[in-house]
């Protein structure tokens, strides 16, 4: 086994829970290892890979700042408890006791490395995710970690309860139909970027509030023309609206072999047709990068750029960019569905939410605002 093969197996072990590294080296060829590694990376998805890399880097940086040494394998129970104490703490107690929570020296070291931005306790979901990754890394290395110890489970449970931090939304404000129309109004100059952004906004919203990763990786092969439908269901012989089916491929809550698709009708289809006609795109990525001179590239738009675009359009529309993000399209779709009186199951069929509880958080707020329950005073 060469040094290159050794590194390849290490990379594969980082994605698949295979602890028998020596057995892999003897059984698999380099080509087979490369193939499996590629499939594992592709199957994980770019956003998940970024999160994994970021979390691993954070754990290493915290260990150096808190203990003066890299992560130790296996981790000790005391080290994991220290991690919990440093990241989940009571803000009111911190005001009374400056030594409560993460020591300032540790926090300053993490800020210097660009690993820490928060000045308060971490979100419980972030701490749980990093502990889960830390535990998985132990399993991948064939080690027993302390993460299932009762002391750690109890400490985590009590720390989360003490923090009493409400779950923050990914977008402070929903991009409802009225907000969407304000963003679309900034896309009327006829430039390549205007046509692309108009198509993106309408497609993402109209297809049920697609996630930025889903809309960014859309390809021409994922589009299928369908028979037009009546603009007014009560007048079937009246004006017709164009219909397009969008194949979703793998999503956050489904797999590629499910073959799911959603339909978009009317304005989103017209905006997409205008963009494709202008850009002369007939294969490959639908929504592509555009440089500052207006040249349309061959590569797909990066999901991070979707968020940046929305904030830029918000600023151009006179809205506060800090109040909106790409996820606002998803929450906005369900909020708008509630306002329009669309039944929740029908809205979820379009948004592809798997959790009724999650979808209802947005939907119910719209329903309550329209109803009498919140107006009794």
pLDDT in tens, 240-277: 888 888 887 655 555 444 557 788 888 999 999 999 99
Alpha carbon dihedral 91, 94, 99, 100, in 10-degree steps, equals -40
Distances (CA, A) of 88 to 54, 92, 186, 277: 19, 12, 42, 53
Q: What was the pLDDT predicted at 273?
A: 94
| Residue-averaged pLDDT of the chain | 78
Closest CA to 275 of 193, 333, 360: 193
How many CB atoms sit inside 10 A of residue 294's CB? 9
- Round to whole Å and give the CA distance between 336 and 178: 9
- 107, exposed or middle or buried, with CB in 10 Å at 0-12, 13-18, 19+? middle
Which pLDDT does position 356 carry in this prediction?
A: 64
CB burial readout 233-249, b (16+ within 10 A) else e: eeeeeeeeebbbebebb
Q: What is the pLDDT of residue 369?
A: 57
**What's residue 15's pLDDT?**
44
Q: Please tell me the predicted confidence (pLDDT) of residue 33.
A: 57
In whole angstroms, give the CA distance from residue 287 to residue 192: 11
- Find, among 61, 48, 112, the residue nearest to 87 by Cα: 61
Residue 289: phi and psi, rounded to 5, are -70, 145
Judge contact between 91 and 165, C-beta under 8 A. Answer: no
Instruction: State residue 192's pLDDT score.
Output: 92
What is the predicted pLDDT for the residue at 3? 32
Beta-sheet pairing, 223-230 with 288-290? unpaired
Domains of the chain: 1-44 (no CATH), 48-163 (no CATH), 177-375 (1.10.443.10)
Q: Hunting for tokens 């990379």 — which residue is that?
A: 11
d(CA 135, CA 144): 9
Evaluate whether 177 touches 57 at the Cβ level (below 8 Å): no
The pLDDT of residue 358 is 64
Rounded average pLDDT per 10-residue block, the chain, 377 residues: 39 44 54 62 63 81 90 89 88 79 89 84 85 84 86 84 58 80 92 94 87 86 86 78 81 52 87 94 91 89 87 91 85 81 71 66 56 55
Measured distance CA(212)–CA(303) in Å, rounded: 5
- Interatomic CA distance for residues 69 and 62, integer angstroms: 9
- CA 124/CA 167 separation, integer angstroms: 9
| Percent of the chain predicted with pLDDT > 70 | 73
Contacts of 280 (CB under 8 A, 6+ apart): none
Residues near 123 by Cβ (< 8 Å), separated by ≥ 6?
165, 167, 168
| Res 43: pLDDT | 61
């Amino acid at each position: 086994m060469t040094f290159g093969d050794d590194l390849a197996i290490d990379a594969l072990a980082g994605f698949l829970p295979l602890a028998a590294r020596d057995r892999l080296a003897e059984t698999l060829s380099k080509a087979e290892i490369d193939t499996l590694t590629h499939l594992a990376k592709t199957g994980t998805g770019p956003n998940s890979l970024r999160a994994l890399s970021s979390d691993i880097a954070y754990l290493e940086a915290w260990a150096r700042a808190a203990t003066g040494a890299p992560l130790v394998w296996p981790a000790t129970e005391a080290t994991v408890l220290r991690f919990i104490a440093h990241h989940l703490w009571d803000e009111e107690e911190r005001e009374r006791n400056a030594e409560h929570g993460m020591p300032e020296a540790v926090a300053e070291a993490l800020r210097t490395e660009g690993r820490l931005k928060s000045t308060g306790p971490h979100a419980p979901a972030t701490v749980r995710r990093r502990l889960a990754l830390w535990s998985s890394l132990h399993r991948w290395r064939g080690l027993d970690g302390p993460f299932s110890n009762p002391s750690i489970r109890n400490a985590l449970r009590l720390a989360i309860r003490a923090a009493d931090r409400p779950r923050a939304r990914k977008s402070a404000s929903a991009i409802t139909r009225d907000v969407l129309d304000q963003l679309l109004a900034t896309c009327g100059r006829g430039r390549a970027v205007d046509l692309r952004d108009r198509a993106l906004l309408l497609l993402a919203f109209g297809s049920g509030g697609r996630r930025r990763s889903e809309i960014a990786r859309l390809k021409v092969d994922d589009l299928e023309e369908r028979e037009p439908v009546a603009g007014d269901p009560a007048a079937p012989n009246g004006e017709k609206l164009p219909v397009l089916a969008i194949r979703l491929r793998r999503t956050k809550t489904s797999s590629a072999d499910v073959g799911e698709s959603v339909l978009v009708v009317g304005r989103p289809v017209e905006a997409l047709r205008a963009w494709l006609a202008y850009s002369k795109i007939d294969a490959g990525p639908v929504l592509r990068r555009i440089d500052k001179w207006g040249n349309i590239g061959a590569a797909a738009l990066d999901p991070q750029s979707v968020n940046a675009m929305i904030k830029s359009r918000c600023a151009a529309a006179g809205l506060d960019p800090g109040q909106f993000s790409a996820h606002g399209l998803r929450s906005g779709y369900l909020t708008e569905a509630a306002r329009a009186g669309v039944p929740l199951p029908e809205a979820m069929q379009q948004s592809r939410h798997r959790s009724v509880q999650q979808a209802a958080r947005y939907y119910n707020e719209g329903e309550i605002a329209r109803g009498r329950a919140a107006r009794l005073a």
